[in-house]
Amino acid sequence: MTRNLLLAGVALLALASAQPGFAQSASDDATRDLIERLRPTEQQTRGIRMPGTDTGTAAPVLVPAVPDPAPSGALAPALAPALAPAPATAPATAPPPLIFAPPQAPSPAAGTTAPSGMAAVSITVNFATGSAALSPQAAAALTALGRALASPDLRPFRFRIEGHTDTEGDAALNMALSQRRAEAVRDFLLKGFPIAPFRLVAVGFGESQLLAPTPDNSPEARNRRVQVVNLGG
């Protein structure tokens, strides 16, 4: 009896996962997660000048008035008290020294090699060995990214689509391959989603920015990835 109930539950779960609504919900969750991770960080938004705040005129400079020169051989009444000897007082206690703590440098986004303080995310995109052709699994992984980049939340921003490889093979060939793969991802996003071309730039980094440091000629799946970095508005 228990075994039959267990089998029935597995069948229902498989049936539900095959329904469009179930897949849509999972995709929506992935899209929302990417939107949150690719929003500009506080360091990227700090110091932005809002329209209309710069009037183009400098603030007036207040200069203290200079008193008229005193007659020769005499002190002006206003200056006499200032030149009189000060009464003896107890020595003042020196204030404690001010200690300035240096600002803490922002760290790279988790799971990325992006510059510090920039919103970024790494995505595993499957390619055939030595190829820049997107596999069906790669297209599925990039669908949530396309929806996120086309969303109103991220529409005002530009992004760098980076290709990264592991250290297996020749470094120069890996650099060229990573560029082709970054361009393939960019083309996929532009063709499948309403994203303006100027918002996406494709750059290949080859094996120069390893997420998981490894020796030369070492296959490592974590280093074979596409990284997306928010470049700001």
Tokens of 203: 């750059």
CATH number at residue 188: 3.30.1330.60
Sign of CA dihedral 181, 187, 193, 197: positive
Q: Is residue 72, in this structure, part of any structural domain at all?
A: no
How many domains does the chain contain in total? Answer: 1
Q: Is it the case that residue 15 has pLDDT exceeding 60? A: no
> pTM higher than 0.85 for the full model?
no
Q: Is residue 182, in this structure, part of any structural domain at all?
A: yes
SS3 188: helix
Question: Helix H segments across the chain?
Answer: 2-17, 20-38, 42-45, 80-83, 136-150, 171-192
Q: Is residue 225, in this structure, part of any structural domain at all?
A: yes
Q: Return the percentage of the chain with pLDDT > 70, whole number.
A: 62
Name the phi and psi angles at 17, rounded to 5. Answer: -70, -20
Q: pLDDT per residue over 130-146, tens digit each?
A: 889 998 888 988 999 99
Q: Is residue 208, in this structure, part of any structural domain at all?
A: yes
Q: Is residue 78, in this structure, part of any structural domain at all?
A: no
Q: pLDDT per residue over 43-94, tens digit each?
A: 776 644 433 334 444 444 444 444 555 555 554 455 445 555 555 665 667 6
Q: Is it the case that residue 190 has pLDDT exceeding 70? A: yes
Q: Is residue 158, in this structure, part of any structural domain at all?
A: yes
Q: Is residue 228, in this structure, part of any structural domain at all?
A: yes
Cα(71)–Cα(24) distance, integer angstroms: 91
Q: pLDDT per residue over 155-164, tens digit each?
A: 999 999 999 9
> Which residues fall within 8 angstroms of residue 206, CB to CB, at 6 or more apart?
163, 164, 165, 171, 172, 174, 175, 176, 177, 178
Average pLDDT of the segment spanning 15-43? 72
Q: Is residue 45, in this structure, part of any structural domain at all?
A: no
Residue 172, domain extent: 28-37+108-232
